[in-house]
Amino acid sequence: MTQIRYTKDHEYIRLDGEIAVVGISDHAQSQLGDVVFVELPAIGAKLAKGGEAAVVESVKAASEVYAPASGEVVAVNSALESEPSAINEDATGKGWLFRLKLANPAELDTLMDEAAYQEFLKTIA
């Protein structure tokens, strides 16, 4: 199974060959509540690690999504424009936000693995 890495802002990134899949964690979607709108980055956009990449709006709040690594956006999940609730249904599967061609794959080494992320969640509960 492909390893997922997480940020403290609750984004996940999963390497799929040379392309990384980015979205928000299951914890993040549960905290947001029902997602009603998603603003995705433009294909071709160059993102810096930690920079704003997308916006997810729910009935409770709007939340910025930050790039967990630097790179170029090569695809977006346009299905979310008509079905943003896919994030609530399957945040790390069909609710992915965008795909990123990484500028520096070593940046992933600075992120939390699943076990570390679960421990991190215990500190903010």
Which CATH number does the domain housing residue 22 bear?
Answer: 2.40.50.100
Determine the structural domain holding residue 46 and report its residue range: 4-124
> How much is the pTM?
0.95
Tally of structural domains, the chain: 1
Which stretch of 14-18, 93-97, 116-120 has the lowest confidence by average pLDDT?
14-18
Q: Per-residue confidence at 18, pLDDT binned at 50, 70, 90?
A: confident
Please check the confidence at residue 122 and state whether its pLDDT lies above 80: yes
Collapsing DSSP to helix, strand or coil, 116 comes out as helix
Contact criterion met (CB below 8 Å) for 92 and 4: yes
Percent of the chain topping pLDDT 90: 93
Mean predicted confidence (pLDDT) in 74-93:
97
DSSP string, 46-111: EE-TTSEEEEEEESS-EEEEE-SS-EEEEEE-THHHH-TTHHHH-TTTTT--EEEEES-GGGGGGS
Query: For the segment 31-62, what is each residue's pLDDT rounded down to a tens digit?
Result: 999 999 999 999 999 999 999 999 999 999 99
